[in-house]
């Protein structure tokens, strides 16, 4: 059974269709990449999956629940329990330590402080990030690994990543891409990565391109 099932979603802005019947289905342990030119609707797709934008038509089912029909309160609770997000620039709080950045997501979900800290330290150790360095002193690749740990701390069903290697050099890009695409099998989640990088996109089990508002399966991206 898919843990992420997107069916015929549509969304328009100023009479311009960004999504028009887009669909995607992923089981646990699998990954998909989405490519497309700037302005094609990739970010809109991610915002719909997160529940930050409500599609005008279609359904988005995550962990067995259609999120398009949830109230704001129920949607927030479902998102915190079942979804993790990695942004292009990490979006970490520099005044917090790496451990605090990661455990914050668990605290917001209601986990006790000691358990949240233990979980954060365990994930950072697994992802080979120093917990002694200040967040602001970390390299770009290290910051992205902290961002991945933060996205995983609540053991999400679906992990989303928006241009996660876009701000990294080639060495860091490879390391972060290797890490991300190992997550579905090691953590039992489904992964959707939006990227402009064909080499990163080619690592996914399912490779898609957003064309005229629809997700089209492609192969041979390298």
Q: How far apart are the first and last CA of the chain?
A: 30
Q: Which pLDDT belongs to residue 220?
A: 64
Q: Among the CATH numbers 3.40.50.620, 3.40.50.720, 3.40.50.300, 3.40.190.10, which is that of 2-218?
A: 3.40.50.300
- Which residue's entry shows tokens 């399966």? 217
Whether the per-residue pLDDT at 222 is higher than 80: the answer is no
Stated as kind and residue range, the H or E segment containing 120 is: helix 113-126
Specify the pairing of strand 83-86 against strand 158-162: parallel
Residue ranges per structural domain of the chain: 2-218
pLDDT by residue (tens digit) across 133-181? 788 888 888 888 899 999 999 999 999 999 988 878 888 888 888 989 9
Q: Is the pLDDT of residue 14 over 70?
A: yes
Q: Check whether 126 has a pLDDT greater than 60.
A: yes
Q: Locate 74 and state its tokens.
A: 């129920």
Residue 67 has pLDDT above 90, yes or no: yes
Phi, psi of 207 (to 5 degrees): -110, 125
Helix (H) or strand (E) holding 11: strand 2-13
Note the pLDDT tens digit of each residue in 171-183.
888 888 898 999 9
This prediction's pTM: 0.91
Q: Is the pLDDT of residue 90 over 90?
A: no
């Amino acid at each position: 059974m898919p843990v992420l099932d997107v069916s015929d979603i549509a969304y328009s802005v100023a009479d311009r269709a960004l999504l028009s019947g887009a669909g995607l289905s992923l089981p646990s342990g699998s990954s998909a990449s989405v490519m497309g030119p700037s302005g094609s609707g990739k970010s809109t797709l991610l915002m719909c999956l997160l529940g930050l934008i409500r599609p005008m038509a279609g359904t988005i089912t995550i962990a067995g629940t259609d999120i398009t029909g949830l109230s704001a309160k129920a949607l927030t609770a479902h998102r915190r329990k079942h979804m993790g997000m990695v942004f292009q620039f990490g979006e970490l709080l520099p005044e917090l330590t790496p451990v605090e950045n990661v455990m914050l997501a668990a605290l917001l979900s209601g986990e006790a402080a000691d358990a949240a800290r233990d979980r954060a330290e365990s994930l950072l150790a697994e992802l080979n990030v120093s917990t002694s360095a200040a967040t602001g002193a970390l390299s770009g690749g290290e910051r992205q690994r902290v961002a991945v740990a933060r996205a995983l701390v609540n053991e999400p069903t679906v992990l989303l990543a928006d241009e996660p290697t876009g701000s990294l050099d080639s060495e860091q890009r490879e390391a972060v891409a290797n890490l991300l695409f190992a997550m579905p099998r090691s953590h039992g989640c489904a992964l959707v990565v939006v990227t402009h990088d064909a080499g990163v996109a080619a690592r996914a089990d399912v490779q898609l391109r957003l064309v005229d508002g629809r997700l089209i399966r492609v192969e041979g991206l390298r």
